[in-house]
Structure 1
Amino acid sequence: MPRFLAVYTMKPEAVLAFRELPKAEQDAIDAAGIAEWAAWEERNAAFILDRGGMVGKTTRVTKDGIAKAVNPFCGYLVVEAENADAAARMFADHPHFTVFPGDGVDIMPFVT
Structure 2
Amino acid sequence: MPRFLAVYTMKHEDFDAFRRLPKVEQDAIDAKGVPQWMAWEERNAAVILDRGGMVGKTTRVNKDGISEACNALCGYLVVEAENAEAAARLFLDHPHITVFPGDGVDIMPFVT
Give the TM-score band, short-chain normalised.
over 0.9
Number of equivalences = 112
What's the CA shift for 1:96?
0.1
> What's the % identity of the aligned pairs?
80
Q: Secondary structure at the match of 2:85?
A: helix
> Matches of 1:31 and 1:47 in 2, distance apart?
26
Structure 1 runs of 4+ off > 4 angstroms?
A: none
> Matches of 2:23 and 2:68 in 1, distance apart?
29
Q: Secondary structure at the match of 1:16?
A: helix
Name the residue aligned to 1:94. 94
> Matches of 1:53 and 1:21 in 2, distance apart?
24
TM-score normalized by structure 1? Answer: 0.99
> Matches of 2:96 and 2:89 in 1, distance apart?
14
Do residues 17 (structure 1) and 21 (structure 2) align?
Answer: no
> Matches of 1:73 and 1:33 in 2, distance apart?
19
Name the residue aligned to 2:59. 59
Listed as ranges, the gaps of 5+ residues in structure 1 are: none
Q: Secondary structure at the match of 2:42?
A: helix
TM-score normalized by structure 2? Answer: 0.99
Q: Secondary structure at the match of 1:86?
A: helix
Name the residue aligned to 1:110. 110
> Matches of 1:26 and 1:97 in 2, distance apart?
15
Q: What is the CA RMSD across the aligned residues, in angstroms?
A: 0.4
